[in-house]
Structure 1
Amino acid sequence: MFKEDYSIEKTAEILKLLGDKTRLTMLKILDKQTCCVCEFVEIFQVSQPSISQHLRKLKAAGLVSEERRGQWIFYSLHKANEYYPLIQQILLHLPNQEDKLLELEEKGTRVSCC
């Protein structure tokens, strides 16, 4: 399951990032859907700068990728990352988070930035 070329340092860095509940939940959501910052602001009820900081850390570690659509940036789980198999194994043990996106759709705030 684990690649022999994983470094202890990089693996520890990834696990430290995943030790944060918000970032871990973000990755679980991004495993199935792309999201923009404004959607995460609605889901977590925290400020845009706070969400952007979490995403910046995940992007710096190579765990998420971004795609610009007009003036908006959408994030997704970077499944080509060498650590994705490790991330995937962790995410398999987490509860489904799709209800958070469904709740946004019901409130009409899913992709409110677009």
Structure 2
Amino acid sequence: MEGATVEIEKAATILKLLGDKTRLTMVKMLDTNDYCVCEFVEIFKTSQPAISQHLRKLKDAGVVRETRRGQWIIYSLNKVSEYYPFVQSLLHHLPNQDFRLKELEEQGLRISCD
């Protein structure tokens, strides 16, 4: 029974993290595309430190991972996390957020981090 308690606690932690609208939107966006911090700053019209803090919390929980590409840090969903199926099942019920990426591209603000 010990294992079940940890699982519930971890699920509660993840649900609490995703209870924040910005973080939930970020995770849904990461379901279809990888993003750079600067792109999230542009999309959410908020400060880079605020975005970085959201991402750090998600990373610490194992929900997202970061990959360095030169000077850029690219964020993606952590698909090898044991919690990925749980997160995925939640995201399944949310509307697609790809329009945000299209808006960014139309404004010429999609960062080419390569």
Q: TM (normalized to structure 2)? A: 0.92
How many residues are matched? 111
Question: Aligned equivalents of 2:32 and 2:5: distance in 1?
Answer: 27
Q: Deviations over 1:3-44 (max 9, x none)?
A: x68611111100000100000000001011110000000110
Question: Aligned equivalents of 2:51 and 2:79: distance in 1?
Answer: 21
Q: Deviations over 1:66-87 (max 9, x none)?
A: 1101111000000111111111
Aligned to 2:23, the other structure's residue is in SS state helix
Q: Deviations over 1:61-105 (max 9, x none)?
A: 000011101111000000111111111111011011000000000
Which residue matches 1:53? 53
Which residue matches 1:18? 18
Q: TM (normalized to structure 1)? A: 0.92
Question: Aligned equivalents of 1:94 and 1:70: distance in 2?
Answer: 33
Aligned to 1:58, the other structure's residue is in SS state helix
Which residue matches 1:109? 109
Aligned to 1:14, the other structure's residue is in SS state helix
Aligned to 1:111, the other structure's residue is in SS state coil
- Judged with a 3 Å threshold, the aligned counterparts in structure 2 of structure 1 residues 57 and 75 are, in CA distance, closer, same or farther, namely same
Which residue matches 1:100? 100
Q: Percent identity?
A: 68
For structure 1, list consecutive stretches of 5 or more residues without a partner in the other structure: none
Question: Aligned equivalents of 1:67 and 1:80: distance in 2?
Answer: 14
